[in-house]
Amino acid sequence: MTLYPLFADLRSRAVLVVGGGAVAARKTRALLAAGAYVTVGSPEVPAWLPAQRAHGVLQHRQGRFSADWLDSAWLVVAATGDEAVNRRVAALARERRLFVNVVDDAELSSFHVPAVVDRAPLVIAISSGGAAPALARHVRARIERLLEPSLGALAALAQRWRPRLRARLPEAAARRHFFETAVLGPVAALVRRRRIGEAEAAMARLLRQAPDAATPRGSVVLLGAGPGDPGLLTLAGLRALGNADVILHDRLVSTEVLALARRDARTIEVGKQGGGHQVPQEHIHALLLEHARAGRRVVRLKGGDPFVFGRGGEELEFLRAHGIDYEVIPGITAAIACAAHAGIPLTHREHAQSVRFVTAHCKDSLDTLDWAALAAERQTLAVYMGVSTLPALRDRLLAHGRDVTTPFALIENGTRSEQRIVTGTLADLVERARDHAVAAPAMLILGEVAALARRLHWFGAEPLGTAELPHRHAA
């Protein structure tokens, strides 16, 4: 984020607009609507000026721009169409530490005017940082279609009731619950039908009936975050993050996914890392219990899916044993998402009739696997957490009869902007991983389908491989 988003209160504050053309007229109109006292400076009196005076406090300063025009201004807009004048306005404004917007010149501007979705008092501003104004307008148009016009009236009603709501429900969690169940429910339905009086009466009745309990009942949501791309989070998962008071997250949950949570939610990293710092599972259980018993809505956020090598079952057993309410929102597990982003189908009519999910993060886990079954052909192996055990993995598969020419694809940081794919055959798996310094998180896909990454990849950089690998079972 290169711009800090904020909403400026310009009521009764002086703003200078330099320029008298159509762009200056648009800027002046918006500033007057925000309650600013606007001075328009230009060599001639703009034809549109008299009509705009009806919308607020507006005066004209005739002549060419000079430094004294900036006296008493809080904010400056340069919209002259003359690059030299705009540069001078920007330079002098910066000297006085005034925020200045130079129309269509992001580099000279210290603030940008966003595209706006107006549901006053609810206002949504969209900015591309000056990089692509047309894209910002496109996003605004899409949001306009999504947000019903009655939201403004609902926001105004909520604003009127805010003091009484805070007095009646001093605890933030209780207020949030009331807002979600009452205001966004029956009250919003009445506002949509333009029955504001009935909505006010419903608000009063529901507030009287609101429970007095200081500590609401806590709960836990076991949520799969997917492999990293926030676009792969489910809608139910997005709602859970928006409602969470506390988020206990794994180390590999991406910052982009965490950014979707409520800004005031407390986030606690409880990740496990092979060969590194380990958070004991008992400590995670204790945190879940502590925050749920305190009446908080807890999200246990796990990379991938919580029920695929995520110890989700253990956590549900603990929660049930202690009488904590819970629900599970699955995520897209890493094998499915990483393979898809590498263009690799895990099953294929000609090459693989089954897929096995395997974890191989330590020697003990390797010793528990059925290597004879894993070495069988016409199946795909999706190996989680296997980077540190690649030599042992290769040797055991070869010892049990897997062909040395079996294709593989190592997908590092799958679905993320830094995704890399390394391809080869089982014979050179260890060397290829070492040569390209493959590091966790990385998913190993082993089997005939892995060869398809060379032709079918679509996301990120080209796979790092020598050539298209053969399909030994091609028809």
Q: Which residues are catalytic?
A: 250, 272
Q: Compute the residue count for the chain.
A: 475
Q: How far apart are CA 233 and CA 434, in angstroms?
A: 32
CA distances from 273 to 187, 252, 314, 357 (A): 48, 9, 18, 20
Return all residues near 373 (Cβ < 8 A) that are at least 6 apart.
356
Q: How far apart are CA 162 and CA 176, in angstroms?
A: 12
Q: In this structure, which long-range contacts are made by residues 339-342, counting pairs with CB atoms below 8 Å and at least 24 apart in sequence?
A: 339/382, 339/411, 339/443, 339/445, 341/229, 341/411, 341/414, 341/415, 341/419, 341/458, 341/459, 341/460, 342/409, 342/411, 342/414, 342/419, 342/421, 342/445, 342/453, 342/457, 342/459, 342/463
Q: Which two tokens stand for residue 87?
A: 């540069």
CB 249 within 8 A of CB 206: no
Q: How far apart are CA 357 and CA 377, in angstroms?
A: 15
CB 93 within 8 A of CB 69: no
Backbone angles phi, psi at 410, to 5 degrees: -100, 120
Helices H / strands E in the chain, number of each: 18, 17
Classified as helix, coil or strand, 300 is strand
Q: How far apart are CA 438 and CA 433, in angstroms?
A: 5
Question: What one-character-per-residue DSSP string does 187-214 give?
Answer: IHHHHHTT-HHHHHHHHHHHHHHS---S
